[in-house]
Structure 1
Amino acid sequence: MVKIGVQAMMLKQHAADHGAYQIWKRLAESGFSSVEVSQIALTPETRDEIVRANSEFGMGVAAISGGIGPTGGGGNDSLVESFDKIVADCKALGTERVRIGMMPLPAFASEQTLVEAAHTMDDFAGRLADEGIRLSYHNHHYEFARIGERHILDLIRAEAPRLLFEIDVHWVHRGGMDPVRVINNYAGVADLIHLKDYRIGLPPAEAIEGLASGNREAWTEYANNIVQFAEVGSGNLDFPGIIEAAKAAGAAHLLIEQDQQYGRDIFDCLADSRAHLVKIGYESLL
């Protein structure tokens, strides 16, 4: 059955300050039992803390993160440089999934470099499959730029047939696409989904006051950042439709994520997201 959990990228500073065990404990107390690990370096100490927390609190790791560029991308290991470590981390943490958060930016230089990156990911998907591990690629909005007649994400799918996908619904919408339709189109290969709302922020008082005084600087700053990452249910996305599409597509894990919290405590944000998911009928998936 599909499981709703938390993407831990948002908690990386908390984990650095307090240790993974304490963060996992607090997530368990908040009503979550599944975590996707990203941008939290899996040192032996951190890995052991997560193993201990999973055992004590009945939690599980949905996936860990790896890249295809040099080690150091947001604290994630590189499949190119640390393949054996990533496999060992999966086995120690009891997960069968690795996700790539993004291709190295130079891969977007041309169709040729995109195809080469897709082939690299496909090769790693095959190698990981030999270890019983599934590899997924996480989209941003960049992947909805067109190369000829197809989107970059569709190019990746065609050139990397062994690769699965982690569909991030906020970035799909920001890329000008309908998240439900994209999930439907990726049925069978959409293994992971990021639940992240898309909100249009209200103008702050200083922006309005600036206009009245003839100073447009604050308004321009607001206008350039009008789109916000939001708690599930506080934005404009259709989460019942998204979750039902994800279930029908065969996704295994749906991970709550909110890249920015705009001054709020992340645990308060997570509590609001969870409460909304319960309100719309998905408590059984948490």
Structure 2
Amino acid sequence: MDVGIQLYSLRKLGESTASLVERAADAGFDGVEFAGVDDTDQTKAALGDTGVTASSAHVPIEELESDLDAVCERYESLGVETLVVPYLPPEDFADADTVEKTAHRLDDLTARCDDRGFRLLYHNHNHELHTVAGEPALDRLAAESGIGFELDVAWILAAGYDPTDYLERYADRTPFVHLKDVVLDADAELGGHPVALGDGEVDIDDCLAVAREGFVEWVIVEHDDPEDPAEFCRTSGATITALRGEN
């Protein structure tokens, strides 16, 4: 199991993608997950120079659907094999009918990605776990589609569920996990506030223990809006290094 960082966490540094790759390497991460790339050639050179792996890329579904060939060409040159739909709005999970439509939409896109040699995953927030026809919408999506998941443990907890339960439930279709911490707040838009690893209410050790059971290929560290992105990168790398040393 390798550990990477979602470069969206570092966007406010205002640096090139290549520079962010170098930061990830200096912090001890095995890889990076892209949220856009500003210069493919420079980024490819940084990956080669540092030995960091390009684990995956978050790409808005509109871009995937409108110009999949260009997306695949860009990320194939960087060694990416996994694309992730990072977000769909709450209205796409409003009721059983819309969840079914969302499932078919994701399945169609999965087939198109498969044809081009890419795996497609879906990354959840908390709204996919509201109740639809007596069950969480995410479970209904899983039943209606074959999409794989990049489960975000913080937003599962913020929605009122046990992240380890979901990791175990969808072990066979969750090759990537977003490792994020959160302080719960029922009044917050997403049910909580993201914080540094170890400062919130996610049981990081338990999540990693389940992930180590063999089905997870990558654990991706993320913070939606760190006050000091550079410090978050450094401290997260140190936290991961310490956890690896304990196991």
2:193 maps to which residue? 228
- Residue 138 (structure 1) aligned with residue 123 (structure 2): yes
2:195 partner letter: A
1:110 partner letter: D
For the structure 1 residues 185 and 282, does the alpha-carbon distance in structure 2 shift closer, same or farther, using more than 3 Å as the test? farther
Which segment is superposed worse, 19-28 or 270-279?
A: 270-279
The structure having more radius of gyration, on CA atoms, is: 1
Q: CA deviation at 1:224?
A: 4.2
Q: In the aligned structure 2, how far is the partner of 1:283 from the partner of 1:231?
A: 19
Matches within 5 A, 1:161-180: 161=146, 163-180=147-164
Q: CA deviation at 1:58?
A: 0.6
1:24 partner letter: V
Does the 8 A contact of 2:59 with 2:86 survive in 1? yes
Structure 2 residue ranges without an equivalent (≥5): none
1:246 maps to which residue? 211
Does the 8 A contact of 2:4 with 2:221 survive in 1? yes
Give % identity.
Answer: 27
Task: Give me the CA root mean square deviation.
Answer: 2.1
Matches within 5 A, 1:240-279: 240-248=205-213, 250-261=215-226, 263=227, 265-279=228-242
Does the 8 A contact of 1:277 with 1:283 survive in 2? no
Does the 8 A contact of 1:180 with 1:245 survive in 2? yes
2:16 maps to which residue? 19
Q: CA deviation at 1:90?
A: 2.6
Q: CA deviation at 1:256?
A: 0.6
Q: In the aligned structure 2, how far is the partner of 1:189 from the partner of 1:114?
A: 18
Q: In the aligned structure 1, how far is the partner of 2:245 from the partner of 2:177?
A: 15
Q: In the aligned structure 2, how far is the partner of 1:61 from the partner of 1:174?
A: 29
Q: In the aligned structure 1, how far is the partner of 2:166 from the partner of 2:214?
A: 10
Q: In the aligned structure 2, how far is the partner of 1:283 from the partner of 1:53?
A: 30
Of residues 49, 63, 68 in structure 1, which corresponds to 2:56?
Answer: 63
The size of the alignment, in residue pairs, is: 245
Secondary structure, counterpart of 2:160 in structure 1:
coil
Structure 1 residue ranges without an equivalent (≥5): 70-77, 202-222
- Residue 196 (structure 1) aligned with residue 195 (structure 2): no
Q: CA deviation at 1:200?
A: 5.5
1:255 partner letter: I
Q: Tell me the TM-score normalized by structure 1.
A: 0.79
Secondary structure, counterpart of 2:59 in structure 1:
strand
Q: In the aligned structure 2, how far is the partner of 1:282 from the partner of 1:187?
A: 25
Q: In the aligned structure 2, how far is the partner of 1:125 from the partner of 1:175?
A: 26
